[in-house]
């Protein structure tokens, strides 16, 4: 997983075909990084305490810590 890019804005883990020159699939930000740690899959953000803490509103894969 460490070779995947993560959006610095929304912490969304990007598809493996995405490069640092592309934009985030979730929010459109171009601030992507390989420097992240932790991984969570949120299936039901409307009932998830973790999603509420991370301010996530869409289901998906997210990094817990992004540098």
27 is in an annotated binding site: yes
Q: What is the Cα 34 distance to its own chain's centre?
A: 11
Tokens encoding 27: 């929010």
61 is in an annotated binding site: no
7 is in an annotated binding site: yes
Phi, psi of 65 (to 5 degrees): -130, 125
Do 61 and 55 contact (CB within 8 A), yes or no?
no
24 is in an annotated binding site: yes
Q: Which residues are annotated as a binding site?
A: 7, 10, 24, 27
Q: Which residues are annotated as a binding site for Zn(2+)?
A: 7, 10, 24, 27
């Amino acid at each position: 997983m460490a070779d995947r890019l993560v959006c610095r804005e929304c912490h969304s883990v990007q598809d493996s075909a995405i490069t640092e020159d592309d934009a985030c699939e979730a929010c459109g930000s171009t601030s992507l990084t390989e420097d992240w740690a932790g991984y969570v899959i949120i299936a039901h953000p409307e009932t998830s305490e973790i999603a509420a803490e991370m301010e996530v509103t869409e289901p998906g894969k997210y990094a817990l810590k992004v540098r």
